[in-house]
Amino acid sequence: MDRLKYPIGIQTFEKIRQEKYIYVDKTEYIYNLVTQNAYYFLSRPRRFGKSMLLSTIEALFKGKRDLFVGLAIDSKNWAWEQHEVLHLDFNGENFRQEKALDIFLDTLLKKLERQYSIEYPEGSFGFRFREIIEAAYRKSGKQVVILIDEYDKPLFDVFRSKSLLEYNRNQLQSFFSVLKTMDQYIKFGMLTGVTRFSKVSVFSGLNNLNDISLDEEYNSICGINEAELSNYFSESIQEMSEKANSLPEKIRDELKKNYDGYHFAPYGEDIYNPYSILSTFSKKKFRDYWYASGTPGELVHLLEDSTFPVPEMDKCRCSEDEMMGTDIYLKNPVPLFYQCGYLTIKDYDSEFKEFTLSFPNMEVSRGFSQSLMRSYMNGLNASSKINDFVRAVRKGDAEEFMRMLESFTAGIPYDLVKPSGVKDFNMSDIPDEEGWIKGGMEAHYQNVMYVLFKLMGFYTQAECRTSNGRIDLTIETSDYVYIMEFKIDSIPEKALHQIKDSDYFLPYRHCGKKIIKIGANFDTTKCRLSSWIIE
């Protein structure tokens, strides 16, 4: 029996079909696309199959029917005509330098101008693109197909630089707006990307695009659904189960827990991460493949710069308008985290048109927590401390745990957000009548504690709501429930009294586990946990 071939990193449909790699048939969706409308936009996370989708559409419009034998579209009423295809791919380029986008567009257009014998190109990038489209139309006598992959790469690369972001946005807006005026020359057009930058964005000149990013009909156009996992990977699951000396059902459970859970429509079915699925079957090991292939350093910094509380990443809300586009100046980080694949749809309120978002699976939750912790530890690897924390918490040694926590917090730098226009300052220089500084300190340390306990693998809640108030943090193990309350520049007795006076322990009184109440205080002058009381 031939060994199964997994197309990891291969994004060319023709190569996959000719060299007999596993191909998950998406041509039913593609047929619906090309027969129902002419212009589309699709947003999906990186490594979810957008490039493969466009490569398949390219082969379709080039009339390469032999590549589609046995696929869903092979039985459809499709003419298999050959069209000129302009495939513009922004992948693999670094647009962080000034004028990098200009150089890329000029190089790209020169290549196409040579291809279509345009001898004396002149004018703006948009004008030159228009000339190329007309030349391609004249060459074949048929309308042209335009495919643009990762259109937003020049924006995403520079989203933390307002000046470069604005410059690149203006250039792309001018370049892509040509498509709106060339309808008589264009048979089909599709743009893909991770994000849809809204408001004053490239889309202000492209209102003829049909955005299918949240359409239930196309929820599964990228990625792998449950039926596809069974149809294409049953043999792979069997191979893994034999190697691990485990039941196939156990392998399926691990696949679902680690890589499933994505939803790209309000009521869409579960989608597996295709890159992690293919990598797992190829390596026959469970690892955080997708997350390790490109950790979100910029997004972590964005989260740190914002006021968004980390514990709410587990269950946050976002309006439909926000989900349909990311503010170009990124005042709200949640839509970007969704579009990049670090959050996904968990529920939808049709009355208020509001989504509930959360981490899709363990790979993302674990990986994102690790990235945050590395950032909190100023680049140092905190994993060596995690096992010691786990041992202390599991055996109920709260005193040992708190001593380690004291040492841990002392190693975490805390850089309070500076007031506008102030280069250097001390916290003591700023009046704090409203308590916003201490509130920020408390939220920061609560974020750190929350991420730490998520990494420890426990069921952890932050600001847990009860009938009498909100618990700062609870940790639940098989034998113990820890209830913790944090104060800033106060005394731990006050935190402990709050736990008892508010009866925070009542929901756990009959759970059969030992309840440990901890009041703790952070000292802002020392920037660490300074004292605690355990009861």
Name the phi and psi angles at 463, rounded to 5.
50, 45
Q: Which of 234, 267, 228, 262 is nearest to 248 (CA)?
A: 234
What are the φ and ψ backbone dihedral angles of 462, each rounded to 5 degrees?
-115, 145
Of the candidates 396, 399, 403, 402, the one whose C-alpha atom is nearest the C-alpha of residue 481 is: 396
What tokens does 386 get?
């995690």
Query: Would you state the pLDDT for residue 301?
Result: 76
Prediction pTM value? 0.87
Residue 326: DSSP 8-state = B
Please state, in angstroms and rounded to a whole number, the distance separating the CA atoms of residues 453 and 518: 15
Say whether 407-534 and 13-215 share the same fold: no
| Domain locations in the chain as residue ranges | 13-215, 226-292, 297-363, 407-534
Helix residue ranges per DSSP H, 340-491: 362-376, 383-394, 398-410, 436-455
Per residue in 284-304, pLDDT (tens digit) is: 999 999 998 876 777 877 777
Q: Which positions of the chain have pLDDT values less than 50?
A: 199-200, 416-437
- State which CATH number among 3.40.1350, 3.40.50, 1.10.10, 2.60.40 fits the domain covering 407-534: 3.40.1350
What single-letter amino acid sits at 489?
Answer: D
CATH 3.40.50 fits 13-215, yes or no: yes
pLDDT tens sequence across 87-140: 999 998 899 999 999 999 999 999 999 999 998 888 999 999 999 999 999 999
Give me the pLDDT at residue 306, please: 72
User: Residue 326's pLDDT is what?
Assistant: 67
Name residues whose C-beta falls within 8 Å of residue 258's C-beta, 6 or more positions apart in sequence.
Answer: 276, 286, 288, 361, 362, 363
CA–CA separation, 420 and 405 (whole Å): 33
**What sign has the CA pseudo-torsion 59, 64, 65, 68?**
negative
